[in-house]
Structure 1
Amino acid sequence: MSLIEDLNWRYACKRMNGETVEQDKIDIILDAIRLAPTSMGMQIFKVSVITDPKIKKQILEEAAPRQMMIKGCSHLLVFSAYTKLTQEDVNEYIDHLGEVRNITGARLEEYRTKWSFLLGMSEQEIFEWSARQTYIVMAYASIAAASLRVDSTPVEGFNASIVDGILGLPEKNLRSTLLFPLGFRDSNEDHLADTPKVRKDIKDLFIF
């Protein structure tokens, strides 16, 4: 199947049927997130992979009561952004870069000096920058899921503070930005399952 066929198949699933997504498919979706492009390649985000029914139920009831797709999802991904960036974070990435690309000595130190400006960014600037990365990688997860015929829905309508508390994110210098349920559509309960996709025509969307 082609990429465009995959994208036409995908929609924002509103009801999921409770079936479990096979682990090999989950692994591919997570790898798509891992391989997605991010600013400077630093991957300043985390993804919580939640399968515990009690935690999913708590998030649904306390933080996202209108997001009923969570009730029947197989896996709930929670994307979170950094709220701080430390010297240790920068050094860890540069050291890893040097190891993978076999860069040592003065050349590696050039990277360390070049990226030292990151440590002068405010916590709000770090969060906003990091949060934008979560949207980029979420898109890759969505496309990967569609290619495997796994349904997904990006969710912004939730109480992030409550989710953060449930998952203990503040202690990790993280704030949640997106919920991303994965599962299989319940065509009997989801009124959007068989409806045509509504999108603008090319002539109305692009400026040439």
Structure 2
Amino acid sequence: MGSGSARAEKAQGLFWVNTRNRRHFDHKARGFYFYMMTRAQPNRFDLRCWIATNVCAAAGAGLGLLVLTAPVLACRGPQNHRTILLDAIPPAAEGSEVIARVEIIGVHIRELPGLRPFHVARAHVLQSVRGTADGQIVQIHAEPTSCGGGLDQSAVGRKGFIAGRFHLIADETFFIGSWTERQIGKF
């Protein structure tokens, strides 16, 4: 019998320990529940949080776009500066389809269907080397980039060599050819 009552006491002791642990757990659970209910709930609309999140997202997208397009938007040095009118024909341009000495007679913005407007320079061929005829009028695709390579109204009356090729854009023929300072031997 002694062993039976010891078992009962043990059983009661275990029950009491379990009860105590359960109560202790219940107090912790109530405290956690109270904590969760008093803090800001994620499903409640918080205007400040929404604004901050969207501003951060927009800033991140803008920074990502800037990083991805940076090489396109910036000229990486004077050796990459581009030019259309050359002082002389460089060795790099010797194999071009079109080589001629020209005088710029006008620059205007051209609008063609399906394309964005671009600068076009009209040039009078003074001396043909290859691909043109003396006295011919050629249209030069003269859209500037961040590294130069364009022509504007200040170029009217300038003379120089062009080297490049003719290219068909919307059923019209344009001369395309710009050279970096490195290609023409200035760097």
- Bigger RCO (CA 8 Å, 6+ sep): 1
TM-score normalised by the shorter chain: which range applies? Answer: under 0.3
Q: Which has the larger radius of gyration?
A: 2
TM-score by length of 2: 0.22
TM-score by length of 1: 0.21
